[in-house]
Amino acid sequence: MKFKAILPCLFLALSLISMAAHPVAAAYPDKPVSMIIAFTAGGSSDVQARIMQKYWDKYVKEPWVFVYKPGAGGIIGFTEIAKANPDGYTIGGLNVPHLVLQSLAQRASFNADSFEYIAQVVNDPQCIAVLKSSKFKSFKDIIDAAKASPNAVRVGLVGPLSGHHLMFLEFNKLFPDVKLSRVFYKGAADQNAALLGGEVDLIFGNINDVMRSIDEFNVLNVAAEKRNDFLPDVPTLREQNVNLVSDIRRIFAAPKGTPADKMAFLRETFKKICNDPGYLADMKKAGQPAEYLDGAATAAYIRSVEEKDKALLSEAGLLK
C-alpha cells in the first residue's frame, strides 16, 4: 500500500527532472523583433512598414522595434539586414531593383543570395512629377527644354543605384541626345522636399511617394503597362510612344540562415497580414499599391530581373 501511495509522487518527480533536462522551447517570437528600414523616416518604405506593423501587432504578441539605416540608395540598411544575427529577431525591408543594382555595380557586401525572403508586399510604378506651378506641362516640354539647354533641367532621384536611377538610365538609353542633370537624395521624403523647395525641376518617383504631396504635384506620366488606379487620368509613357516601364518592389526578408521554423512563422504571418481586409483598406488609403508574392515567388522574381539589369548597367559603364 505504501508503495502505491508514493507512486504519484515518484512520477511527478521524474516528470520534473525530465522537464529540467529538456526545457520546453519558448514560443517564437518571445521578445521584440528589430525591423530595419533602409530609407529615411517618413518615406514610402517607412509608411508601408508602419501599416504592416499595425497588423503584425494584431497577430503577434511581440512588437517590432524600428531601426533606421538610410543612405547610399539603401545599401547601408540592406547590409545591416544581411549581416544581422540570423536568429529570427532581425528582419527588414528591401527594395528591388536597388538590391540587384547595388550587388552588381557597387560590389556591395550582399547579393540576392544573402537573404531569406519573407514576401513581396508592394509593386509601386514610377512616374514623372513636377510642381503644379512648373512650366513643364507635358513630357514633351521636358524633352524640348533639355535639348535646348543640356544639363540645365534637374531631376531628383533617390540613389544612386536605386529603382529611380535605373529609370534614369533607361531614359538615357531611349533619349541619348537629351541631357538631364541628376541629383541624388537619401530617401523619398528628401526627394519630395527637394521638388517642393525648388531644388530640382522634376522627379522620377514612386506613385506612393508622389501621392503624399499630390496637392502640390502634377504627375505627367506613369511608367507602367497600364494606367494606375490611384491616378486614372494620368497617361502612361507608352501612351506617349515612349517604351519605358519601371517599378519598385518592396520586399521583406531575414538574413540568410534564419531557421526554417522561424521563416515559416514569418511567411505565414505576412500572408495573413497581406490578406487582411483592414490592411488592404489602409494600404489603399495611404496610396500604397499592394501586391503580395510569397517568399518563393519573390526570390524567383528577383532572379528574373538580374540579367536585364546587368545588361543595362554594362551599357552605362557602371558594372564592376
CATH, residue 134: 3.40.190.10
Judge if 132 and 200 occupy the same domain. yes
How many domains does one find in the chain?
2
CATH, residue 298: 3.40.190.150
DSSP alpha helices (H): ranges in 223-294? 260-274, 277-285
pLDDT at 4: 52
Q: Which residues of the chain have pLDDT under 50?
A: 1-3, 7, 9-10, 12, 14, 16, 19-24
Cα pseudo-dihedral 122, 128, 131, 137, rounded to 10: -140
pLDDT at 50: 97
The structure's pTM equals: 0.78
How far is CA 93 from each of CA 74, 241, 257, 287, rounded to the nearest angstrom? 10, 34, 17, 18
Q: Encode pLDDT of 287-319 as tens digits.
A: 889 999 999 999 999 999 988 899 889 988 888
Judge if 157 and 305 occupy the same domain. no
Judge if 131 and 210 occupy the same domain. yes
Judge if 161 and 208 occupy the same domain. yes
Evaluate whether residue 7 is within a structural domain.
no
Q: Encode pLDDT of 11-41 as tens digits.
A: 545 454 554 444 445 799 999 999 999 988 8
pLDDT at 98: 87
Q: Is 114 helix (H, G, I), strand (E, B) or coil?
A: helix
pLDDT at 71: 84
Evaluate whether residue 3 is within a structural domain.
no
pLDDT at 22: 46
Evaluate whether residue 146 is within a structural domain.
yes
Judge if 267 and 193 occupy the same domain. no
pLDDT at 227: 94
DSSP 8-state code for residue 7: H
Average pLDDT, the chain: 90
What's the domain range around 147? 123-238
Judge if 176 and 83 occupy the same domain. no
pLDDT at 15: 52
Judge if 112 and 260 occupy the same domain. yes
Evaluate whether residue 10 is within a structural domain.
no
pLDDT at 3: 46
Q: Which of 182, 204, 238 is the last residue of a domain?
A: 238
pLDDT at 143: 97
